[in-house]
Each structure stands twice: as structure tokens, then as C-alpha cells.
Chains A and B, each alone.
Chain A
């Protein structure tokens, strides 16, 4: 540990390489299933096993998903896409090479908009996005004498997103990953699950003295299995590199692993022989040409992106940025809300219902919004009833919503009427109840007038009891206060 001022002499430089596993039905170069989670070595074919005599067959959705992503980031889409072989030996790489893209990545340039540590907008540039294939899995800890190889994942399509080294803090890295995750989920090309490995991140980290023009030597940290761990690893690696430099040594180009328990990075060298990938053009695949017609077709079918929806919710509906962000966290949740705002103008109430009752219900029952049986128009009707003063918020939350969950085909208005939950908003009736309540506790009335405002609750309770819970709380409260103070 060095003094704080020493660390502050340095600037952190981070570039992230994210591998996004695509949600295609079949694999990148063969038609066996790309689905996660089946029994070992069942989602395979002679092609993904790398058997003699097999040749790759390019999946059209790898291209489509890649173009979707590139357009969403503002990248240039490459016209002539060549494939390349990256040659190395590993137990989970059946062909002894990976089919990837080297000189002609599908997308060049573009950027991802994030918030920096101060909450200000910052764009992180994208160097490139290219198409490649995943390897299988080597399992080292099931059998003491053998490594077990499962090739289900071998050949599943990946997109690799390489960022410019423009990230300057661990928080920016965290935010960048969060944005990318949300984006790929919105585009429905990947479920962005780092813990399950459908999204993976390698961090290229270097440091340099503030004001320096040249980049320092970078290290590459792998095996980061959550966005949080990317943050922690970068944080640690920053300090580690500074300590090395301050001690008079040099940073070497190393592959680092991250120990999630200790929160430290350490060198993974000497386990592997030196790599020379000997990239050369893949002779078994001709080029894939992406013309402007194709690009326009994909562009037309792009869904509304989170940033567009946030803009809409904040500027057109006057919701807070915070609310807009919560509502757009998940695509289908945002779409449900969007639909709801077509059916009611009370956007704030709509937002509150979504972020409150609906979200809680979904979370408690581990459901997605797509599995939610209540439709936007039913929620809109509830809001309408409240706005009309027919029901109170608490009745809506505590009685109507739960009832609706059990009877998903019913209409809120009908529910309220048939269950006699329409609240009492007739001032005369309320006045009656209020008078009775006040008459019951003359001393409390005195105490209230003397300053104990909490006693309002006692009277409210009495009114509620007498009205069988149907007194309009707002109106009651108003009338009670008037009565009590006079």
C-alpha cells in the first residue's frame, strides 16, 4: 500500500473485450442446437465435432444479430466480410482452430453512451465488432484423473466487442458493461448473463502518469464472471501496476487471472505455451457481402432502444430520470409501460404502479413481465378509478390488485362494484361518520387541538370502521381536519 497521493499521480486506462454469446437456435457453422443446458455432447454434429471431411455452413442470424448490434452502436457495417482461422490447440477446440474474423470485422467504430463517475454523459468508442464461434467446455474438477470435454458449446456463435481504451475508472467499466448488457437484451441477441457465461469480459488494463501521451504496457485480465468482479479486478490491477512501477520494475504483457474470493489479480503465465495464432483467411468460407438493402432491412426492424425510451419517458411524460431508468431496465417491462401510457395520461401513476405493485409481484413470484397475466388496459382502468375518486389507492393496492391477480379476466371496475369497494365519497355520509367518531373521544379532540396531531389516525380509524373501510381517505382526512380544528 502506497500513500494516496502516489496513486493519484497515475491515470487508469482500460479497454474491454466483451464476448456476447448469441441466442441463435443453431450454431454458427452447423445446424445442431445452440441452446444452453442440455446433457453433455448432445448438441453436436459431425461439423461441430470437427470430424474429418466436414465444412462450415454460415448461420444467417450471426450476421443479422451482428448488424443489429452494429447499427445500435452507430458502427460502420463492413461490406465484404472475410473469415479467418485462429490456430491453437486446446481440448475444447475440436478443429484445432477457431473460425473468426481478422482483417475485415463486421463492424468498425461506433460507441456506447455511459455515465461517468460524476453522472455526466460519456461515450466509450468501439474499435470493432466481429463474428466468431465459441469453444466447448473442459471440466477439470469432476474426475481426479481426467479432464472431461463437453462440446455442446463448441460452435455457438459469438460477437466480440472491442472497446477503445477510453475507460478511465472502474465505475466507467461497470457502467459500460451494464449498458452493453442492456443493449444486447433489448436487441434480443443475447441474454447478457455473465454468471452463466453468455456474456464474458476480458479487461485490458494499463496505467500512465497523468498528462502522459503514451500508453503504458497493458495486462489482460480474464476469468471475470460478473460485472461487479470486473470493477473489483480493475480496481486492484490499477493499484498493483502502480506499486510495481513505483518499486522500480516494469509491467510485462501478461495474462492475469482474478481471484474473486481475495479480490486480487495474479499472473497466469507459464501454464500455457506461447501463442502464435497464425491467422490466415478461412478457405472453406467465401466472403459474406452485406449491402445497403440488407442493412436497411435490419435497421427498419430494430426495436426501440433504452436511450430512446428514456428520452421519451422523461421529455414527453415528465418522468424523472430515475423512474425512466428503472422502467427501461428490461425491454419488455418498458414496452408494457409504453403500452400503458397509451391508455392513461396519468404517467406518474402509471410509473408508480409499474415500479410498485407490478414489480413487487413479479419479483416475489419470480415471473417475467411476459408471464404477467394482467394486461395494460386493466392497470389503466385501476388508475382511472382512482382518478375518478371511486377507489382509494390503498383499496386499489390491497384489495383490487390482488383480486385481479386471482381473476385475471375480470375488469377492475366490475370487481370494485361487485365487492362493494367503491369508496364513500359523499361528503354528507362522511360527515355523519366523522361526527360519530368525534363524539366518541371528546378528550382526544382536546388533545388534538392542543397539538397532538398524530391522533388524526385514531379518528380516521373510527371513520373507516363505521364506513366499513369505504370512506375515501383523502376526503375524510380533509373533512376530519376541518371538523377537529373547529
Chain B
């Protein structure tokens, strides 16, 4: 079977009778089973997916299939799907069965998308390499001694390995864009408040967004369009109605103004090939008549620290519900309430999660709140104001997605701080709540992909996707 890159192709081949949803699903399942060593999927919904495929094949014949008929999607293991297990790749909710589906999952299924399985990720979305899962690391399908990135490593890898057409992940500090960069696909994080978080296992509530992995802008736009918009179950959404993103992407591209931050492009940790490619893209844009300017940004060194103080604080509270009492893992050593808490949590959570809970608890604790949490909130405001100032004058901010392509498994594990700095270019979009996308425009001499990132203004995903398509076309 062809290695399909977009839904249009699939739908055309279904129409012409070359394939059916059923054969498509069978093909994907075979791919998954052949490559189980990559440890991408935690669970494959084999029978269910085939059953859905059969039903949808009939709907297609009857002419009443939904917009996503033929699209097979994987879900990151922190997105709830009713009647299915969801574990955030953690032992502490291993075996937990969700009583409801995430709003985005319902909306996609409504349009006849097929959910093929749940993918491995960093535990509770905390990590940048998918090495923090309680169920083993994920290997990058492009080069199996490399990490796929994280925390949505499994999702990115599932698309890169041709195990499904698209995947849903979550992005709190870069957890979609960074693995998209490492795995060579398109990773979109929408504006904060664009897509419902109902059914997303929370890590950091004011940073988390559900987003997509796909191989085409068209598919990205189609998914976003269907997932977006108000939801009575999420009170942090914007009431603004979403655009028709599939329409937006076919509009003509006018001349644009693009900014790039000098502190990003001149970052000492930036891999020379990545830097070269970034500058080449900038040059290309200038030649095509766009205005591309180098802009100052004074808060580079505060980006990741602010992100860590705020996300760990929110996480320490969001993860308090995993207590061994009401659901999930309870330690066999629990003999009273206190030991139920302490033993279950200490045994159930992995090392990185515990680290972040400890830091988060500390920065909120009496005596430290002002110096850390409140301070970080103030800096968040400064970062937001400065970024919005830039976006008043420019349509997009362009940068590399990651300082380098995928690194070796195990190579960043000694120092948590080194790992945190993997997010240096991505956290800004989460701190400010902006839409951002990673485009697979780069490839190193060693054939490792890397992404170029575009950040846009809030709720301007249409413009962002439109220009993304253009950027892909001209590179």
C-alpha cells in the first residue's frame, strides 16, 4: 500500500476503489505490529478500528460519510477515550478506564475518523525525549538509536512510521512541536483557548493545548477546524467562533512581515546545520519580497525558568488527585490513609514527575510564593507584552523549532536542566498562549530531520497555516 501523506489522496483512492478503510486499517495495524520494537503504541484498538472501518466504508458507499472518513488517527496516552484505558504513561493510573471521551475525540469520531490506538509518551507529558514513560522508551523510527522527542514522542513517531495518518498530542512547552521536529512531520499547537482541554489529562492548566501531528497542512487544517470552538465542558475556551481553516489555506499569500529573534538565531547551543537552514529560509523569504527583520528579545534567559516555575506549580496541584484512594494504583503496602497516599504516589510516579511535583510544591509554599510563583507570573506578563508588541508589527515570528535534531537515547539524562533547555525555542508560545507550528523543512547530513517554527498572533491559525503551506512550497 502507498505511504499516504494526506487524506485527499486516501479519499480519492477509496472513491476509485483501490483501497477501503478496512484495507487501510489492516495496513496500519501490520505496520504497527512489524515495528513493535519501537514501542510506539501502548494499546492498539485493532478489532474496534476494523469494525469502525467497515461501518465507514458502508457510509462512504451510501454517500453520507463524515469529512474525516478515511483518516486513521492515534491518540497520545493523555487523551481520554470513553471505555478505553488511559494512563498518561504512568503506573499510577495504569488500568484506569475513562468514563468519557475528550471533546476533540468526540468531534473527530463524529466526522468518521478512526481511532487506531493510544501512543506512548513521557509520563504526565513531562519530558522532551519520551524517555520518562513508565512503559519504556520510544525509539525514533527514522533512526532507532535516537529519541523521537517528547512528551508526545509516540504520537510523532506513529505518523513518521506510517502507522496512521495523523495523531493527536498535547503541547505544554513544546511537546508537539519538538517531537514533530525530531520525527519530520508537521506539529501544530493552537492558540490557548482554541481547542477544548476537556478530556486532556492536565499537566499545566494554563499552558496545555491539544494539537496535531500530520504530514500535510491540509490535514492539519481539517483536524483543527473540526476540533476547535466553544465547549461547555471547558471554561477556559474563547467564545470566538473558529474560521474555516481549510478555506484559509488556499488563499493567496500576500507579502508578509516576519520577525526572527536574534537571541534564538544566535543561541550558542544552536546546531550549525540548523542555524544555516534557518538563515537560508530567511534569505529565501527576503528574496521573495517579504520583509524579514532581526528583532531583540530581552527575556531569553527567563523563558525556561518562568515556564518551569509555573508549570511545576500547576502540575503539583493537578497531580494531587492521583492519591491511591479514589482510582488508579494503590500500594500493597498501604495500611492507613497516610500510607495510602505516600506509598502509592511514591511507587506510582516516576522520577521526573516527582521532581516536578517537589519543585512545584516548593514554589507555592508559604514564604516562597512571592519570590517564585508570583515573580514568574509577572515575568510571564512581561514576556507576553513584549511578544505581543512584536506581533503588532509582524505577522509571524520564525525560528528553529529545536536547537538540534534528535539526540541519542540516554544522552541528556544526567542533568535535568540540560533536558529542560531542549524547550528553549518552544516555551515562548505556551507562556504567551500563541499558536505555533513546526514545519519539517530541514534535514541534516546524517539524514535527521529538524523543524522550523512559526509563531502567529492569537486565534490567527488561518493565517499561520496559510503561510505554512507557502513556506513548505517555496523550500
Contact = CB atoms under 8 A, between A and B. Distances in A.
Would A and B touch once assembled, by the CB under 8 A criterion?
Answer: yes
Interface of A: 46, 49-58, 85, 87, 89, 91, 94-97, 147, 149, 151, 273, 276, 278, 280, 283-286
Contacts of B373: 280
B12 interface: no
B21 interface: no
Given A53-B202, A276-B365, A46 B100 contact: yes
Interface in B192-251: 197-202, 204-206, 232-236
Nearest to B87: A52
Contact of B369 (A52, A280, A284): A280
B313 A55 contact: no
B1 interface: no
Given A53-B202, A280-B313, A87 B99 contact: no
A151 B327 CA distance: 13
Contacts of B197: 55
Interface string B284-325: 000000000000000000000000000001101101110101
B365 A52 contact: no
A52 B321 contact: yes
Given A57-B232, A283-B205, A283-B206, A52 B320 contact: no
B366 interface: yes
Contacts of A55: 197-198, 202, 233-236
B364 A53 contact: no
Contacts of B165: none
Contacts of B235: 55-58, 284-286
B19 to A, nearest CB: 34
Nearest to A281: B377
A143 B316 CA distance: 32
Contacts of A95: 320-321
Given A52-B80, A52-B201, A278-B369, A97 B326 contact: no
Nearest to A49: B326
B233 A51 contact: no
B284 to A, nearest CB: 40
The CB with the most chain B CB atoms within 10 A, among A52, A95, A151, is that of: A52
Contacts of B113: none
Contact of B199 (A53, A276, A285, A286): A53
Nearest to A282: B205
Contacts of A147: 337
Contacts of B176: none
Contact of A97 (B79, B86, B98, B320): B320
B93 A52 contact: yes
A276 B369 CA distance: 12
Given A56-B235, A94-B321, A147-B337, A51 B365 contact: no
B361 A278 contact: yes
Given A91-B337, A278-B364, A280-B313, A57 B233 contact: yes
B102 interface: yes
B236 A53 contact: no
Given A53-B102, A95-B320, 11 more contacts: A46-B99, A52-B201, A55-B236, A56-B235, A87-B320, A89-B341, A94-B321, A278-B361, A278-B366, A284-B235, A285-B235
B317 A85 contact: yes
Contact of A96 (B99, B204, B321, B365): B321
The CB with the most chain B CB atoms within 10 A, among A89, A273, A278, is that of: A278
B317 A87 contact: yes
A49 B78 CA distance: 18
Given A97-B317, A278-B364, A280-B364, A52 B98 contact: yes
15 contacts: A51-B99, A52-B93, A52-B201, A53-B86, A55-B202, A57-B233, A89-B341, A96-B321, A97-B320, A151-B326, A278-B364, A278-B366, A280-B317, A284-B202, A286-B235
B394 interface: no
B200 A285 contact: no
Contacts of B314: 283
A273 B336 CA distance: 14
Contact of B236 (A89, A94, A280, A284): A284
Contacts of A52: 80, 86, 88, 93, 96, 98, 201-202, 321
